[in-house]
Amino acid sequence: MKYFLGSVRILLIIIYTFIVLLFLMAETLIKGRNFERGLRYSMIWGAGICKLIGLVVEIKGNIPSGSLILMPNHRSYSDIFVFISLVKSSFVSKAELRAWPLIGYAADLVGTMFVKRTSQESRKQTISDMKYRINKAYAVTIFPEGTTFKGPGLKQFKKGTFMMAAEGLFPIVPAAIEYQNPDDAWVGDDTFLPHFIRTFGRLKTPVKIHFGEKIQSEDWELIYENTNQWITESVHQLRKEWDSKIS
């Protein structure tokens, strides 16, 4: 049953992504490329994917908007579907995503910023792009851990974005995400297809999201510590809430 449902959902994701992309491409050809339109289509796409794969999202706190940096912890590739459906924001993603069939092209069309972490020039360009978008009153989402982590707790955060936030006095909104089943995390040598079948071959995949309040300062170390502390405490609290339901 898991294999059948998971396989059907993968097929539906491909079809749905292709349809959304066709509409976006058609509108782009007629009206020209537009950043705002790309964000709108990405939210539509993310919300549709969440429904197709059975993600049941419980939200705590206020969903942020406007000029800010959203910083969630990172458990799985499905985190992207959740956050992109809730927050009008462009993402910072690893450069490898650009090469993914269909997904990479769609991500580029909706304004994703691709960074090659081993390239100092790429990192500088990404920070410059982020500054531009935030100054234009758009939100940017970045996973400060830089990769997925099963937990409990968090991986060490990358410091560059915090330094940029302090320099530009940009507000950071921390967010915590935790799946009911800790094994839903996509980590290590786990490959995409087996993980997807195992996780989304179930009828529903419950997940909790907690959005925090804005953190803003000219002191990047203070931002770093406050963001890390808030997400760490929130992730542990969400884990307790899930465990209490399971027990």
Q: Residues with Cβ < 8 Å from 195, sequence gap 6 or more? A: 76, 186
Q: What are 115's strand-pairing partners? A: 94
Residue type, 69: I
Give me the pLDDT at residue 78, please: 95
For the cut 70, the answer to whether the pLDDT of residue 150 exceeds it is: yes
Q: Residues with Cβ < 8 Å from 114, sequence gap 6 or more? A: 93, 94, 95, 97, 98, 107, 108, 126
Whether the full predicted model's pTM is greater than 0.85, yes or no, is: yes
Instruction: Give the range with max mean pLDDT: 88-92, 155-159, 160-164.
Output: 155-159
Give me the pLDDT at residue 128, please: 85
Choice between 36 and 205, residue whose per-residue pLDDT is larger: 205
Q: Tell me: the pLDDT tens digits for 191-238?
A: 999 999 999 999 999 999 999 999 999 999 999 999 999 999 999 999
Whether 151 contacts 242, CB under 8 Å = no
Domain boundaries, the chain: 55-191+203-246
Q: Tell me: the pLDDT tens digits for 45-104?
A: 999 999 999 999 999 999 999 999 999 999 999 999 999 999 999 888 777 777 777 677
Tell me how far apart the terminal alpha carbons of the chain are, to the nearest angstrom.
26
Give me the pLDDT at residue 181, please: 95
Q: Residues with Cβ < 8 Å from 82, sequence gap 6 or more? A: 46, 50, 55, 57, 177, 207, 209
CATH, range 55-191+203-246: 3.40.1130.10
